């Protein structure tokens, strides 16, 4: 996943003082935990999730950051395989700050949590 590589690269091998002098900040433990939680949920849903697709209705920068990455607010129409579409609104950590791939009208395969249909991940 690009998000984890970017987080690792941002941490680098330089001492903290060199990073601060270069204008970089170390990700906080909270950032690390948020990124790891999203990654773990992705892995879980790839194993147990129902297949479907999502059509992006809107995407916006929430103003929040996690390890230097944007937390996007996404509104989507999710359609489970063989089912009817329903709305989902969620926050999602994206690598970097480019919302271009999440432009309204974009469609992606998703995995849907069988216990909570509002919980989806891309994949």
Where b means 16+ CB within 10 Å and e means fewer, 92-115 reads bbbbeeeeeebeeeeebebbbbee
Q: Domain-by-domain residue ranges, the chain?
A: 2-122
Tens of pLDDT, residues 59-70? 999 999 988 889
For residues 67-78, give the mean pLDDT. 94
For residues 27-52, give the mean pLDDT. 88
Please, how many CA atoms are within 13 Å of residue 5, restricted to the half-sphere of its CB? 2
H or E, element range at 66: strand 50-66
> Out of 18-22, 40-44, 73-77, which region has the weakest mean confidence (pLDDT)?
18-22
User: Is the pLDDT score of 90 beyond 70?
Assistant: yes
User: Is the pLDDT score of 13 beyond 70?
Assistant: no
CA-to-CA distance for 117 and 13, rounded, in angstroms? 41
What is the reported pTM? 0.74
User: Is the pLDDT score of 24 beyond 70?
Assistant: no
């Amino acid at each position: 996943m690009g998000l984890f590589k970017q987080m690792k690269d941002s941490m680098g091998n330089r001492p903290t003082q060199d990073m601060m002098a270069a204008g970089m900040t170390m990700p906080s433990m909270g950032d690390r935990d948020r990124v790891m939680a999203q990654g773990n949920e992705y892995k879980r849903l790839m194993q147990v999730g129902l297949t479907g697709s999502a059509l992006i209705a809107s995407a916006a920068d929430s103003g929040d950051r996690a390890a230097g990455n944007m937390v996007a607010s996404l509104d989507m129409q999710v359609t489970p395989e063989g089912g009817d579409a329903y709305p989902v609104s969620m926050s999602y950590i994206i690598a970097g700050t480019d919302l271009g791939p999440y432009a309204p009208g974009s469609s992606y395969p998703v995995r849907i949590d069988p216990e909570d249909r509002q919980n989806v991940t891309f994949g």
